[in-house]
Structures are given as C-alpha cells and as structure tokens.
Chain A
Amino acid sequence: NAGVTQTPKFRVLKTGQSMTLLCAQDMNHEYMYWYRQDPGMGLRLIHYSVGEGTTAKGEVPDGYNVSRLKKQNFLLGLESAAPSQTSVYFCASSSQATGEYYGYTFGSGTRLTVV
C-alpha cells in the first residue's frame, strides 16, 4: 500500500547509545518531516526536508541529525541518546502545493524509550 513507512516501530535504548530511524515514502513527495509527540503537548517539528539533499531545522532539533540522500527516504539519527528523547516519533510527507491542497501523510510512529 502506498504511504509512509517508519522503522522500527519500537525501540529501547540505553543512555549514550546511538540509533537511526528510517522513514520511507512511495508517493514521490518533495517534502518530508520528523516530529516528536510527548504527553500533554502537540506534535513538534524536529527537522524537515524540502527535497533530496536538503534538510532544515525545526522547532526542537537539538540532539538529532537528519539526512535525505534519496527523495523517498528521510533518516533521523540520535548520536547519543538521552532520557529526554523518550518520545513517539512520527514521520510525514507532503506534496507540493497543487491548487490549494497540501496533502500530508503520516507514518505509524516509532515509540522510543531511553533508559
């Protein structure tokens, strides 16, 4: 099925460990995003990309890095995990504006716990 696929779905890390979250979309969307969702807060933008080879910081980028080497993939890296990065991470992609519609498609989320 077409859409946004995130891997892994769950992960437990020890403080200081590193990991990469993978987001893949097959809709040929130009824009891709990484968000985190914490209890009592709205989703917050970590990093985003407006096209292959480009990335930009969002609202809460510290402690994360991203890469967009291929148009369909957007990777989120944690170099040295901290308990404050315990969260649910969502990837999303969107199409360029066509008329008035900016379609957003979300992945199913990755639940990350840092102990």
Chain B
Amino acid sequence: KNEVEQSPQNLTAQEGEFITINCSYSVGISALHWLQQHPGGGIVSLFMLSSGKKKHGRLIATINIQEKHSSLHITASHPRDSAVYICAPLFPYGGSQGNLIFGKGTKLSVKP
C-alpha cells in the first residue's frame, strides 16, 4: 500500500522561528510535491523535487530518494506562512506519469 506520513500534524511557532516539516513515504518514487493550502481552502504547488534541494524565497525543500524522505523548511517564519502544508509523492501507478498520493498535511500556525 502506498503510504505517506507527515510530521508533525500540528505546529505552532513564534514569528521568526525556523520551521521544519517532514515527510516519509513507503515506495520508490520519481518526484515529490510540496503544496500549501490556505485557510480559505485554495491549494498552491510550492515545489516539485526529484533530487537534492530547491529554494524559493524563505522556503527550502530537500529530498533523499534513497531514504524515502523529504523535508520542507521555512526560515524566518511569518504569520502569513500560517497554512496547511501537504507532501504529495508522485507514485508510479495509473499510467506513465504516475499519480500523486497526498499526506494528511501539517497545520502551521505562526504567532506574531
């Protein structure tokens, strides 16, 4: 069974803190997405990773394909970062492109 585990489920931080969200998955994959879901419900794709590390502004995502693990880091966190962060590995089923399997998400709340 394809499984995705995220930790922590909930995270409260003070503004300025360094945040780490972890994701582990059960089978070999070719790529992994990190998504952000705002309190209003909209979902935005932050990163797609197949190896190494990517950085966009204060967000950094890393992946270790062999270890089946990815992390999302937020530096100098801000209240506007409050959202649910979702890990979604691209599992190899359903055709050549594969399909995403979604973690349950990590709810981040950043206090001023």
Query: What residues make up the interface of A, taking CB atoms closer than 8 Å to B?
Result: 31, 33, 35, 40-45, 48, 50, 56, 58, 88, 90, 92, 94, 96-97, 100-106, 108-109, 111
Residues B41 and A88 in contact, CB atoms below 8 Å apart: yes
A33 / chain B contacts, CB cutoff of 8 Å: 99
Residues B48 and A101 in contact, CB atoms below 8 Å apart: yes
B100 / chain A contacts, CB cutoff of 8 Å: 43, 45, 104
CA–CA, A110 and B60, complex, Å:
31
Chain B residue nearest to A30 in the complex (CB): B97
Specify which of B33, B45, B50, B88 lies most central, judged by the most chain A CB atoms within 10 Å of its CB: B45
CB-CB contacts of B70-110 with A at 8 A, as 1s and 0s? Answer: 00000000000000001010100011010111111100000
Chain B residue nearest to A45 in the complex (CB): B99
Chain A residue nearest to B103 in the complex (CB): A42
A56 / chain B contacts, CB cutoff of 8 Å: 94-95
Residues A106 and B48 in contact, CB atoms below 8 Å apart: no
The B contact surface, by secondary structure, is: strand
Q: How large is the interface on B (under 10, 10 to 19, 20 to 34, 35 or more residues)?
A: 20 to 34
Instruction: List 19 A-B residue pairs with CB atoms under 8 Å apart, sorted by A's residue number.
Output: A31-B97, A41-B104, A42-B88, A42-B101, A42-B102, A42-B104, A43-B86, A43-B102, A45-B99, A94-B97, A96-B97, A97-B97, A100-B31, A102-B31, A102-B48, A104-B33, A104-B48, A106-B42, A109-B42
